[in-house]
A and B are shown apart, each in its own frame.
Chain A
């Protein structure tokens, strides 16, 4: 049999592709069905938030952070206000801290739900997407009631939160918790046992903890390898040290572990929400803050556990009301770096499975 002449082929996946979760372009070099090389091209959504921030007062930057990881904007809000509060050593009222924790954990759940829906959609299962949207809708409704927006919350302020919870809101959250537990069980029934799904994700895109650490991965992308690293525990901020919750970790570092960790983390977040709703004290929601916020000159870094990993804010203040330089350490951006080496040698169909499990939000990658 004569040898067949083969040729490598370059293929573009994205930037407009339903499975790239935004405007991500992957230039894939293919040898038949096998991926030889991948070059992710980002920057299509670059809005220069960091540059814009240099011209804005700290309060004015908060709405911009909403637009980075738009699936978990509460956490973005918090990352910024937390960094500034740490720098200025402000006292935050208890009630505000609790409200923050509740909305952050709810937002984490909403974000993880969307991950599950979108991931299954990538893999070809349509219905989970619709199921998770129902539950996510309930969370967005709760957010809508507390801050008047469904995606871009702009809820946190330096020194507290914008609004106290409206009457009955805490009770609504408490009712939501058991409902969500049911939903998680339902999602397990619906997806976790499905053989087709398992074949697509088990053992796919695996890496070990050493690689993950070398590549600075964080969040579920790191924990799926079995390495227990969660800033809520390892470097406690806010009031997370008061709650009893676990850090679920994976074993194999494959796509399945990443998927299952999202579900398990949602359960832990529910536990936190439940405890926080039980403990929340009455009181003011806004601390005493100077009218014009001027963090003392210096360099500050503070990282929180975002929905996708460590969400850090590094800023340099020159003592003015605007940051001299503000840098966001965006977990999606850092996590995406590992993608090319994960994809090498895989076949084309796994590209979507592996990319989806990294759980990126392009608004955050490009900032």
Chain B
């Protein structure tokens, strides 16, 4: 896996065409690339120090963008691309007016706008996305956690939907693996309750302000968090 990644990194960081398309994401891309070049390998140090937080961020994004070169030749801009990009820009702009430095990155994933939120702002941004006058993503469709040991962080993803139109955006945030902590989204979305308990149980992310953070799938006295990549049941 890491070999693959290294091979695909250089071409993807030079994707000039993409970064020019919109102001919001080009900023994020530029920041990410710079950070990657200068980053020290010690990722996921103290929370709050910006360069370190930005460092691991770029890695999977680059890895994700690499393959399109395979299916690039027959690709005209998909009709879904433009509206998705417009929505992404709109949402990013809207979030930035309230929390200027909350958005760490923005991209499209299969025509779904993805916002990377700085974790201190996680709950506030979710609240804004839910209640903001022009946002109104009030339905939490899905929440998931993903472990990225190479980056040293765990990503928590929330898929939010604007209700009658069914447009979906993805908000995600990152927390260092060794001190995984996030503000809980339950005060904003009551439906996040069990999803967060599951993420806590299987990935070991502590959600501050969660009303009832207990293990949900595994027995209460279980050791370790099974969905972490380095989990071994024989400890």
Contact = CB atoms under 8 A, between A and B. Distances in A.
Contacts of A214: 138, 189-191
Contacts of A319: 4, 63, 66-67
Contacts of A235: 166
B157 interface: yes
A312 interface: yes
A319 B2 CA distance: 12
Interface string A136-153: 000000000000000000
A234 to B, nearest CB: 4
A297 B157 contact: no
Contacts of A89: 71
B144 A327 contact: yes
Interface stretch (A46-54, A105-113, A263-271, A279-287): A46-54
A327 B193 CA distance: 17
Contact of B194 (A48, A231, A300, A334): A334
B109 A299 contact: yes
B162 to A, nearest CB: 11
A309 to B, nearest CB: 11
B70 interface: yes
B1 A50 contact: no
Range of interface residues on A (Cβ < 8 Å) = 35 or more
Contacts of B5: 318
Contact of B68 (A217, A296, A316): A296
Contacts of A299: 64, 109-110, 114, 157, 170
Contacts of B219: 43
A337 B144 contact: no
A318 B197 CA distance: 26
Contact of B112 (A213, A217, A301, A337): A301
Interface in A178-225: 213-217
Nearest to B168: A301
A257 interface: no
Contacts of A301: 112, 141-142, 159, 168, 170
B146 interface: yes
A222 to B, nearest CB: 9
Given A43-B216, A43-B218, A215-B190, A324 B110 contact: no
A72 to B, nearest CB: 19
Interface in B152-170: 157, 159, 163-164, 166, 168, 170
B179 interface: no
B226 interface: yes
Interface string A335-360: 01100000000000000000000000
A314 B142 contact: yes
A43 B33 CA distance: 42
Range of interface residues on B (Cβ < 8 Å) = 35 or more
B140 interface: yes
Interface string A290-326: 0000001111110100000010101010111000110
Interface in B136-150: 138-142, 144, 146-147
Contacts of B146: 316, 324-325
A157 interface: no
A333 B171 CA distance: 21
A50 B1 CA distance: 20
B191 A334 contact: yes
Contact of A337 (B68, B109, B191): B191
Contact of A303 (B141, B170, B216, B217): B141
B140 A216 contact: yes
A297 B144 CA distance: 17
Nearest to B12: A297
A120 interface: no
A128 B59 CA distance: 57
A51 B226 contact: yes
A298 B166 CA distance: 22
Nearest to B62: A297
Contacts of B93: none
B129 to A, nearest CB: 14
B31 interface: no
B144 A86 contact: no
A316 B154 CA distance: 13
B227 interface: yes
A314 B70 contact: no
B120 interface: no
B195 interface: yes
B216 A42 contact: yes
Contacts of B216: 42-43
A336 B164 CA distance: 23
A366 interface: yes
Contacts of B215: 43
A314 B110 CA distance: 12
A307 B138 CA distance: 23
A87 interface: yes
11 contacts: A215-B191, A229-B163, A297-B65, A303-B141, A303-B142, A318-B63, A329-B142, A329-B144, A333-B198, A334-B191, A366-B217
The list of the 5 closest CB pairs from A to B, nearest first, reads A216-B191, A296-B67, A327-B144, A329-B142, A46-B217
Given A48-B226, A50-B227, A319-B66, 5 more contacts: A46-B217, A303-B142, A318-B4, A329-B144, A334-B195
